Amino acid sequence: MMSTTESAKGPLRKSIGLPLLVLASGQLVISLDYNIVYVALPDIGAGLGFSDHDLQWVVSAYVVATGGFLLLGGRAADLLGRRRMFVVAALLYAGSSLVGGLAQTPGVLVAVRAVQGIGGSLLFPATLSLITTLYDEGPDRNRALAVWGAAGAGGLCFGSLLGGVLVEAFGWPSVFFVNVPVAGALAVAGRLLFPADGPWDRSRHFDVAGALTATGGITLLVFLLVQAPAEGWDTPTALASAVLSVCLLTLFAVVERRSRDPLVPARLFAHRGLLAAMGVTALFSATFSSVPYFLTLYFQTVHGYRAVATGLAFLVPAVVVAVGTQAGERAVSAFGMRRMLIGGMTLGAAGAAALGLALTSDGSYPSLLPGIVLLGLGQGAAWTGMWIAASAGVAPGDQGVASGLASTTLQVGGAVGLAVLVALAGGVGQNASGPGLLDGIRTAVFAIAGGIGCGALALLALRRATSTSP
């Protein structure tokens, strides 16, 4: 029997542009919401009385909640309906953002950021699985993913500019209030434009035990990776989080083996393309996605840029990454997925190396541009390619959880990568200063170049091994 989503696919294609615009806007909201608070942190800390130690949780609460709930959000999209989850997530964003702008205490704002993170963990896989089920595998889906990727990559960079403008003009609450009308409009547009999900298939059961153990284990793991680099790996909190995370994830594996309808079907772990894509997303987040953190330190601490100037400095990276996403989609058609990923990562490694050489105490912004352009083109191409790879060959009923798996590795990879890079750079942070800070930033950027290059070599080796196997 044809599902409601499938039956509506044909008519929807006649108006392909508007639904894709809504889906791309959803990704834009997710990426903006992650990045827009960075330049507002000093004002938030002063306005609500955060301690220096606790201020990091304005960012970390979002990261921990998103990383922990992505797998659950992906399966919920498959079982409860993609349109339903898109609308619910957008409304959650709107409501929590309104409360965040009105917050008067640190505890309320941190809680709001956690709720926004849960909203992101529901919206991201719902948006991605809508794209991969509404658009056929091949050129149509690749083009849609390129547009979606451009919106997300641009949002990560434009968030800094928008945050700086809003904070200087209207104060820190504006970075939350701006989400309210946008997210509300997304909920209405999604309800009107996307095909109805139809009734819940009662023959498929929601794996409650798997959802609880996976969410708890992954949340504690991300919490550990965010908290331990600053507080220490041998503190009681870090040790307890590590032990509980291992226990819950082990229990999750046991539950999944015995479940009639597991949260993560075992067949997905036999899907080599999805597994490879998960590895690429983890590496991508650990390397490419860590660059804005160190560039922000370089602009604001080494050169003394104000919030708006820092945002303007990210305009060129945003445009170049967006161009890279479109080039990546065309390169997939011309050269194939693996060659495109190898090329994009090689370009990114070269760009990161050039950027590291240009990071000097008296260097000008134009001297950074060759590295920024190469890095951004490679980043955009790899971003598009890894999501095409993650969805290729996956059954429609598993697209949500496949998206959840890939995006979970994206979050965990980012947390691990940034923790390792900060430690490698000598613990650089927002309050660091002096020549040691610049040396640390350069060390981190060169390590990023090395990591991306190793990823390209691994893909090349995998390609050769595949082509020579019987």
Query: pLDDT tens for residues 68-112?
Result: 788 788 878 877 888 999 999 999 989 999 999 999 998 899 899
Between CA 398 and CA 409 the distance in angstroms is 17
Q: Are domains 17-194 and 263-463 of this chain identical in fold?
A: yes
Burial class for 362, CB neighbours closer than 10 Å (0-12, 13-18, 19+)? exposed
Return the closest-CA partner of residue 289 out of 354, 370, 375, 369. 375
Q: Give the model's pLDDT for residue 349.
A: 96
Q: Are 331 and 381 in contact (CB under 8 A)?
A: yes
Is residue 184 predicted with pLDDT exceeding 90? yes
| In the chain, where the domains are located | 17-194, 263-463
196-224 mean pLDDT: 75
Q: Are 85 and 69 in contact (CB under 8 A)?
A: no
How long is the chain?
A: 470
- Sign of CA pseudo-dihedral 437, 440, 446, 448: negative
Between CA 6 and CA 3 the distance in angstroms is 5
Predicted confidence (pLDDT) per residue in 135-167, tens digit: 887 888 888 888 887 787 667 667 777 887 888
Please identify, in words, the CATH class of the domain defined by 263-463: mainly alpha
Q: Give the model's pLDDT for residue 468.
A: 44
Higher model confidence: residue 259 or residue 350?
350
pTM: 0.75
- Least confident stretch, 111-115, 170-174, 305-309, 427-431: 427-431
7-21, 61-75, 115-129, 416-430 — which one is most confidently predicted on average? Answer: 115-129
161-176 mean pLDDT: 85
Q: Are 348 and 374 in contact (CB under 8 A)?
A: yes
Is residue 449 predicted with pLDDT exceeding 50? yes
Is residue 358 predicted with pLDDT exceeding 50? yes
Q: Are 288 and 452 in contact (CB under 8 A)?
A: yes
Higher model confidence: residue 327 or residue 373?
373
pLDDT band (50, 70, 90) for residue 268: confident
CATH number of 17-194: 1.20.1250.20
Is residue 226 predicted with pLDDT exceeding 90? no
To the nearest 10 degrees (0 to 180), the angle between helices 369-391 and 139-170 is 130
Q: Are 313 and 365 in contact (CB under 8 A)?
A: yes
Is residue 232 predicted with pLDDT exceeding 80? no
